[in-house]
Amino acid sequence: MTDQAEYCLWAPMNDQVYRNYHDTEWGVPEYDSRALWEKLQLDGFQAGLSWRTILYKRDAFREEFDEFDPERLSRWSDERIETALQNPGIIRSPTKIKALVGNAKAFLEFQNNGENFSDWMWSYVGGTPIVNSWQNFKNAPVKSPESERLSKDLKTRGFKFCGPVIVYAFMQAVGMINDHETHCPRHKAVQAMTR
């Protein structure tokens, strides 16, 4: 039996979905451009909501949003957006769904310009995760100078729903920032996964 006190306290032992997310995904360095883009979109949908809400709807999001395929999403019409708004399994926000379509186009611009989205994103932390040493997750900030710069530059590139708080949560989730509590076994585990 694993002791909750050994792990980050924000992911309770009695919530298996959330727990699994903490134990297998959160903080693991992600270098795949498409996967980074999808996670940024999910974090954008979280705005004003809890991550738990998004996590429990993630499969429905993937199904409705063409597996987050930027090529397909970039071609969505107003009618297709309207269809998505009828799906009770997702967050039915017209503003967020329209932002998703625009963000797909912004992502594709990187490819059109011959730029690697992953390399560009990781450049904001010098290509290596920032490793923090929090005893308690409540001591971690909600944004950082890096998330503020990345947020500003994403907006310049045409992205929406990417404020510095959303971007900081994204950077934690994709391992650009290691904010696992220092007593959590995942703190060292994700560090060892760095490219």
Dump pLDDT digits (tens) for 73-122: 999 999 999 999 999 999 999 999 999 999 999 999 999 999 999 999 99
Q: What is the mean pLDDT of residues 147-175?
A: 98
Q: What is the mean pLDDT of residues 164-169?
A: 98
DSSP string, 40-89: HHHHHHHTTS-HHHHHHHHHHHHHHTGGG-HHHHTT--HHHHHHHTT-TT
Rounded to the nearest integer, the mean pLDDT of the chain is 95
Q: Using CA atoms, how far apart are residues 101 and 81, in angstroms rounded to an integer?
A: 9
Angle of the 33-46 helix axis to the 164-173 helix axis, nearest 10 = 130
pLDDT tops 50 at residue 1? no
Query: Regarding beta strands 130-131 and 177-178, do their DSSP bridges make them parallel or antiparallel, or are they unpaired?
Result: parallel
Q: Kindly list the domain boundaries of the chain, sorted by start residue.
A: 14-191
Q: What is the mean pLDDT of residues 145-174?
A: 98
Q: Using CA atoms, how far apart are residues 151 and 140, in angstroms rounded to an integer?
A: 18
Which of 8-17, 39-48, 50-59 has the least mean pLDDT? 8-17
Residue 5: pLDDT band (50, 70, 90) is low
Residue 3: pLDDT band (50, 70, 90) is low
- CATH number of the 14-191 domain: 1.10.340.30
CA 45 to chain centre: 10
CA 161 to chain centre: 11
CA 17 to chain centre: 16
- pLDDT at residue number 4: 61
Nearest alpha carbon to residue 43 among 156, 152, 169, 143: 169
Alpha helices in the chain (DSSP H): 16-24, 33-46, 51-64, 70-73, 78-84, 94-112, 117-122, 145-156, 164-173, 185-191
List, in order, residues 6 or more apart from 154 with CB less than 8 Å away. Answer: 162, 167
- pLDDT at residue number 11: 86
Each residue's pLDDT tens digit, 97-107: 999 999 999 99
- pLDDT at residue number 96: 98
Higher pLDDT, 5 or 194: 194
List, in order, residues 6 or more apart from 103 with CB less than 8 Å away. Answer: 37, 40, 41, 44, 158, 159, 160, 161
Look up the pTM and report it: 0.95
Q: CA Rg, the chain, in Å?
A: 17
